[in-house]
Amino acid sequence: MLKKFGIYYLLYGIKMLRFKEIRSYVLIPLIVNILIFAFATAYVWHKASELAEYIEFELPDWLAFCQYLIIPLALLVFMVIAYYMFATVAGILAAPFNGALAGKADEIIQQRKLRDEPVSATLKDVPRIIAHTLRVLLYTLPRMLLSFLLLLIPVVGYIAWLAFSGWNVAVGYLDCAGDNHHKSLRELILSMRENRVACIGFGISVYFMMLVPFVNMIIIPAAVCGSTKLLADLDGGAITGDKEIFEPVQEEKEESDRTEELQTEEQPTGEAD
């Protein structure tokens, strides 16, 4: 059930953080998270108190009886939007490191060795990475703005906003692993459509865990690891793309040779007559 609705993959990513191979890739994104969310928390609490005072002062007398409902609701919406924006900034700043983290997570999941690429090859790939990042932003930004507008529609708008937000978050994280394989945005979306519910559920889980103090410090690296596993499952067990990032599998020795060796070792020594 958890796997079907996507939250399984976030829990999977959290468990992956215990691997020592992952920890060195988590350090810089973790520092970025701590700084961003420390500032975000201070900003939100400061502005929230000002917002509460403003609403209380501007609220008409005939609505004074429901201020205890309106003010908490307004503060909740403000906090959700503010943290969403800060989480987006944190994700952009940590993006270069998230790609490396997704590669290491992919290596552990597939149990295969990553190729060692020269620095020159990485530098040559920079223009493609920038162009790809811009395409992803052009895809997600209009949908993010639309999701905010949907908040103006009661009930139905909130549900639609939640679905849009979850999908956008999922696109951002799954692209970390997909881009390592040079998977285009179109190919990524086609893969995600194989299980929209799991992708949206994963994105929603990540989004709301971002709102939990202290837990949000580890959510970005956990989401990168979890999204790598999710994309691999969507692609049939291994992420597909135009680039092979693993070392070629070495051919195993022929079974007949192994059998012959075992027979030689196990042959009993005959006793002399």
Residue 269 in this model has a pLDDT that exceeds 60: no
User: In angstroms, how far apart are the furthest CA atoms of the chain?
Assistant: 116
pLDDT over 70 percentage in the chain = 73
Of 100 and 54, the structure prediction assigns the larger pLDDT to 100
Angle between helices 156-180 and 67-110 in degrees, nearest 10: 20
pTM: 0.73
Using one digit for the tens of pLDDT, what is the confidence trace for 173-214?
999 899 999 999 999 999 999 999 999 999 999 988 877 777
pLDDT band, very low/low/confident/very high, at 63 (cuts 50, 70, 90): low
Using one digit for the tens of pLDDT, what is the confidence trace for 97-106?
888 899 999 9
Quote the CA–CA distance of 24 and 100 in Å, as a whole number. 11
With the C-alpha atoms ordered 167, 173, 174, 176, is the resulting torsion angle positive or negative? positive
Residue 5 in this model has a pLDDT that exceeds 90: no
Quote the CA–CA distance of 2 and 8 in Å, as a whole number. 5
- Mean residue pLDDT of the chain comes to 79
Q: Could you state, in order of their start, the residue ranges of all structural domains in the chain?
A: 7-236
pLDDT band, very low/low/confident/very high, at 254 (cuts 50, 70, 90): very low
The answer for 219, left when phi > 0, alpha when psi is -120 to 50, beta otherwise, is: alpha
Using one digit for the tens of pLDDT, what is the confidence trace for 23-49?
888 887 778 777 877 777 777 777 777
